[in-house]
Chain A
Amino acid sequence: MKYFAEIRGKEYEIVVDKEGASARLLMGGKAYHIELDDCAGSIQSARVGNRRVEFGWQRKGNCHTIIVDGVNYPVTIRDSLQRRADEVSRMSVAVKRDAEVKAPIPGLVAKVLVNAGDKVTKGAPILILSAMKLENEIASPIDGTVKSVDVANGSKVEKDQVLAVIV
């Protein structure tokens, strides 16, 4: 079975050939023998060639986050059909012209500094985001007018949540 693994923009083509518990994977012209242990939970172990490895694992849909040496590798696995389907949908996404100001980290909006309709310059502070006892000034990425402010003083925000839109 052929799969496409994508990690942070880089793609790997992998063929999985499984016989019982043990599997033979082909990637980049090399063969790997992997045997996964039957573990419940987020810490898994496996035999990869001659080594036994322990790694962290979390899954969301077809995205498996593998944690090795403390590094999180979010790996999206798709088969040929899914990959083709995703390519098609990517080509039909409209280009956004508004600049969305997103939260770089999760936190609490300590103070909103602008209103809809205000003119701002690139780098002008839009709001103060407080997170884990540190204050961060969030600045406008472009010159323009504030189209909308989507949060209020005291709002709790997630990472990448839209805080404001500048046009």
Chain B
Amino acid sequence: MKILVANRGEIALRILRACREMSIPSVALYSDADKASHYLTAADESFHLGASPPAESYLNQKRIIAIAKESACSAIHPGYGFLAENHEFAALCEREGITFIGPRSETIRKIGNKVHANELALHCGIPTLPRIVTSSPSAKEIAKNIGFPVLIKAAAGGGGRGMRLVRNASELERALREAQSEAKMAFGDPTVFVEKYLPGARHVEIQILADNRGNIIYLGERECSIQRRHQKLLEESPSPSVTEEIRRRMGRAAVSLAKSAGYRNAGTVEFLLDRKGNFYFLEVNTRLQVEHPVTEMVTGIDIVRRQILIALGERLDIAQKDIRSKGHAIECRICSEDPFDNYAPATGEIAAVRLPSGPFVRVDTDLPRKGTVSLFYDSLIAKLIVWGEDRPTAIARMTRALHEYKVVGLPTTIPLFLHLFKNKKFIKGDTHTRFLEDEVSFEGMEENRATEAALLAALLEHNRRRSSTPRYRTGRPLSSWKKTFFNEPIR
């Protein structure tokens, strides 16, 4: 087997590392912007894709297949984002005789579509949220059939893009416009639908693994309620609000859905858990997810390795009863966004990095030292994951690691997490999907180390001035008169 990784950054590095560990030859790809990126060093060979914009590089199906054939790759791992859930690309691989490391193209096409997936869930007896499926629903229709607040979602979408929260009828028009436009840009399909929004609910997802012979298991759950603009920022496993009984019911629901879809390889079934312990099916992510490390840390299972083994035709040799979750894991997404400036994303040079380490600390990053954050890709700089024997220990360890982590050059979400971990409700595990936006404020946070910063800057500036001015041995600066007298010959 020889694997081509059709992705970039930290996830490409993750997959390439799995290949190395399994002694499988690997090929990486890079656009202009990624010529000097770190992940390329983990591959046996790397090839140039094209210009930096994704359409010309990481989304360029023809070019990727051409390189795969040129370098004699027998399989392609799509990572997450880009072509990972593009059923046409998966079908293209199948036609070209290249193993797509993921579900079959038919499966991706069917359950990747949120409307169809919802129907399948209903068919399996899994509760779903009321929704309206028309591209431009009227406010009246919505109020009558579902009731505000609602969430507009892209039918062909995923990853929180093309989503907009609409609290009342007056917000509907603009939200529809933006969501449709974002959906068209991200997924090539502007079709959206409208779904009831449950305030105070939590985002809980189940990781599944299925081999090519119908054996499907679930690897516990992840709670991903800490989000901003529907983008996850922090994930943890287990969820503080999931009992053993809820876990079993959710897990079984996820597996039955996967079975009826003929699912293969890794995937995630997302649910919304309300405050009464009822869960509702949201969607299926037919790919490896960003937050897979938290599941790896608590179950001891290497998901990427398993994906490759499944793609090689191996039978899943773990039974459901063998899956145990131990301790607690948390992942913080370190992004180049400024939490003090409404999370304005920043691009540019990172001058220096110091990574945290120590017991049970894992960092998945393509920027372990200095580098560039490009405006063509997303703002994720690193994933910081820690494991602890219980949740309080994991939080304390994550706090310690965040203090050790140094990034110089761009603002990051590091201070956001440090602040979040002091929040009483978060410490209790009492969160929901609007927690970050509605209940966490940054008032007074900045003054913390401002005085120290002022002192250090003053001293640094003082030293800089003194070293650039010529001096007497006593330390007094030379006057310009004397400088001229000594340096220029008297005529």
Interface residues of A (CB under 8 A from B): 1, 3, 5, 7-8, 10, 12, 14, 16, 18, 23, 25, 27-28, 32, 34, 36, 41-44, 46, 48, 53-59, 62, 64, 66-73, 75, 77, 104-108, 110, 128, 130-135, 137, 156, 159
The 9 closest A-B pairs by CB, nearest first: A70-B414, A56-B408, A73-B453, A75-B457, A42-B352, A77-B461, A64-B457, A66-B453, A5-B454
Q: Which residues of B contact A18 (CB under 8 A)?
A: 459, 462-463, 466
Give the nearest-CB partner of A7 in chain B: B450
Nearest CB of chain B from residue A52's CB, rounded to whole Å: 13
> Once the chains bind, are A36 and B463 in contact (CB under 8 Å)?
yes
From known contacts A56-B352, A135-B181, infer whether A73 and B449 are also in contact, taking CB-CB under 8 Å.
yes
Q: Which residues of B contact A5 (CB under 8 A)?
A: 454-455, 457-458
Q: Which residues of A contact B378 (CB under 8 A)?
A: 132-133
List 12 additional contacts besides A34-B455, A54-B406; criterion CB under 8 Å: A41-B351, A42-B351, A43-B406, A56-B408, A69-B449, A71-B415, A72-B338, A75-B458, A77-B458, A132-B378, A135-B181, A135-B185
Question: In the bound complex, how far is the Cα of B418 from the Cα of A5, in angstroms?
Answer: 26
Give the nearest-CB partner of B184 in chain A: A135
> Once the chains bind, are B458 and A16 in contact (CB under 8 Å)?
yes
Question: In the bound complex, how far is the Cα of B352 from the Cα of A138, in angstroms?
Answer: 33
Nearest CB of chain B from residue A10's CB, rounded to whole Å: 7
> Once the chains bind, are B409 and A34 in contact (CB under 8 Å)?
no
> Once the chains bind, are A70 and B407 in contact (CB under 8 Å)?
yes
Nearest CB of chain A from residue B412's CB, rounded to whole Å: 6
From known contacts A105-B344, A131-B345, infer whether A71 and B457 are also in contact, taking CB-CB under 8 Å.
no
- Is B488 an interface residue when CB atoms closer than 8 A count as contact? no
Give the nearest-CB partner of A73 in chain B: B453
Q: Which of B211-266 contact A (CB under 8 A)?
A: 229
> Once the chains bind, are A133 and B186 in contact (CB under 8 Å)?
yes
11 residue pairs A–B, Cβ–Cβ below 8 Å: A25-B455, A42-B408, A44-B460, A46-B456, A54-B354, A55-B456, A57-B460, A70-B413, A72-B411, A128-B181, A135-B185
* Interface of A: prevailing SS: strand
> Once the chains bind, are A132 and B345 in contact (CB under 8 Å)?
yes
Partner of B174, one of A69, A132, A137: A137
Give the nearest-CB partner of B351 in chain A: A42
Partner of B352, one of A3, A8, A41, A128: A41
Q: Which residues of B contact A1 (CB under 8 A)?
A: 462
From known contacts A42-B352, A104-B344, infer whether A34 and B403 are also in contact, taking CB-CB under 8 Å.
no
Question: In the bound complex, how far is the Cα of B451 from the Cα of A128, in angstroms?
Answer: 40
Give the nearest-CB partner of B373 in chain A: A132
> Once the chains bind, are A56 and B406 in contact (CB under 8 Å)?
yes
- Is B360 an interface residue when CB atoms closer than 8 A count as contact? no
Give the nearest-CB partner of A41 in chain B: B352
- Residue among A16, A18, A134, A137 having the largest count of chain B Cβ atoms under 10 Å: A134
Question: In the bound complex, how far is the Cα of B215 from the Cα of A3, in angstroms?
Answer: 70
Nearest CB of chain A from residue B288's CB, rounded to whole Å: 18
> Once the chains bind, are A25 and B458 in contact (CB under 8 Å)?
yes
Nearest CB of chain B from residue A123's CB, rounded to whole Å: 9
Q: Which residues of B contact A110 (CB under 8 A)?
A: 185
Q: Which of B157-208 contact A (CB under 8 A)?
A: 161, 174, 177-178, 181-182, 185-186
From known contacts A133-B186, A159-B344, infer whether A57 and B408 are also in contact, taking CB-CB under 8 Å.
yes
Q: Which residues of B contact A77 (CB under 8 A)?
A: 457-458, 461
Question: In the bound complex, how far is the Cα of B462 from the Cα of A108, in angstroms?
Answer: 40
Question: In the bound complex, how far is the Cα of B456 from the Cα of A36, in angstroms?
Answer: 8
Nearest CB of chain B from residue A160's CB, rounded to whole Å: 10
Partner of A137, one of B178, B354, B448: B178
Q: Which of B368-425 contact A (CB under 8 A)?
A: 375, 377-379, 402-403, 405-409, 411-415, 418
Q: Which residues of A contact B409 (CB under 8 A)?
A: 42, 56, 58
Nearest CB of chain B from residue A33's CB, rounded to whole Å: 10
> Once the chains bind, are A48 and B452 in contact (CB under 8 Å)?
yes
- Is B361 an interface residue when CB atoms closer than 8 A count as contact? no
Question: In the bound complex, how far is the Cα of B465 from the Cα of A62, in angstroms?
Answer: 10
Q: Which residues of B contact A130 (CB under 8 A)?
A: 185
Nearest CB of chain A from residue B66's CB, rounded to whole Å: 25
Question: In the bound complex, how far is the Cα of B76 from the Cα of A44, in angstroms?
Answer: 43
Partner of B450, one of A3, A25, A67, A73: A73
> Once the chains bind, are A43 and B408 in contact (CB under 8 Å)?
yes
> Once the chains bind, are B375 and A131 in contact (CB under 8 Å)?
yes
Q: Which residues of B contact A66 (CB under 8 A)?
A: 452-453, 456-457
- Residue among B418, B445, B446 having the largest count of chain A Cβ atoms under 10 Å: B446
- Is B74 an interface residue when CB atoms closer than 8 A count as contact? no
> Once the chains bind, are B351 and A132 in contact (CB under 8 Å)?
no
- Is B347 an interface residue when CB atoms closer than 8 A count as contact? yes
Partner of A3, one of B182, B377, B462: B462
From known contacts A43-B352, A135-B185, infer whether A71 and B446 are also in contact, taking CB-CB under 8 Å.
yes
From known contacts A43-B352, A104-B344, A133-B186, infer whether A27 and B455 are also in contact, taking CB-CB under 8 Å.
yes
Nearest CB of chain A from residue B367's CB, rounded to whole Å: 14
Q: Which residues of B contact A134 (CB under 8 A)?
A: 161, 182, 229
Q: Which residues of B contact A41 (CB under 8 A)?
A: 351-352
Question: In the bound complex, how far is the Cα of B450 from the Cα of A10, in angstroms?
Answer: 10
Q: Which residues of B contact A25 (CB under 8 A)?
A: 455, 458-459
Q: Which residues of A contact B414 (CB under 8 A)?
A: 69-71
- Is B346 an interface residue when CB atoms closer than 8 A count as contact? yes
